[in-house]
Amino acid sequence: MANGSGSAQLRLMLSDLYRSKGQTQKADHELEQAFSNADLPAEVKVKILADYVKVLKDEMSRKNALKLSEMIIKAHPGEAKAYAVHGDLLAMANQKENARSAYLKASQMDNSIFEVWQQLVQIEAEMQQVDSLTKHAEQALNCSRTNLFSGFSAGMPNC
């Protein structure tokens, strides 16, 4: 298949078709091919992966989800949400330090995503990293306050 967004969309459709027929390996292969395509927007990939995560059944599908999140980062290294979803998957795999790093990267790229701050603070609390926790909790509160007030005037978050 040729590269491009159309090719990636076809691969997504093939993946769905294979999955509906119970052909998981073929479905995963097509999904990986679509995710490796930089022409398929990161937002689409993150949404697909978020839906995929909801139905994770076993260790193999969790590993595949983690691999897909790495593929999003490789294809879209400047996308904060790619690092956020990667952090979520690492946290689910109990890889707290790696999850923390992914959330930090996401927060550096886009400091307006409150959920990233929330996850970062939660992990730092679990890891008992008091200094970082205090600093990031304050940033999360600032983000929350800014979102609340800017939402009234501009309709967009801005931390």
Got the DSSP string for 56-102?
Answer: --SHHHHHHHHHHHHHHHHH-TT-HHHHHHHHHHHHHTT-HHHHHHH
CA distance 47 to 14: 17
pLDDT digits (tens, 9 = 90+) for 116-144: 989 999 999 999 988 887 888 888 777 76
Question: Are the C-beta atoms of residues 111 and 120 closer than 8 Å to each other?
Answer: no
For the chain, the straight-line distance linking the first and the last C-alpha, in angstroms and rounded, comes to 42
pLDDT attached to residue 138: 83
Burial class (CB in 10 A: 0-12, 13-18, 19+), 55: exposed
Q: Return the pLDDT at 5.
A: 59
pLDDT in tens, 14-64: 999 999 999 989 999 999 999 999 899 999 999 999 888 887 778 888 898
pLDDT in tens, 52-70: 888 777 888 889 899 999 9
Q: Smallest Cα–Cα separation from 14: which of 30, 36, 29, 37?
A: 30
Q: Where are the domains of the chain?
A: 59-153
Extract the tokens encoding 89: 């998957």
Q: Confidence class of residue 113 from pLDDT cuts 50, 70 and 90?
A: confident
CATH 1.10.10.10 for the 59-153 domain, yes or no: no
Give the pTM.
0.81
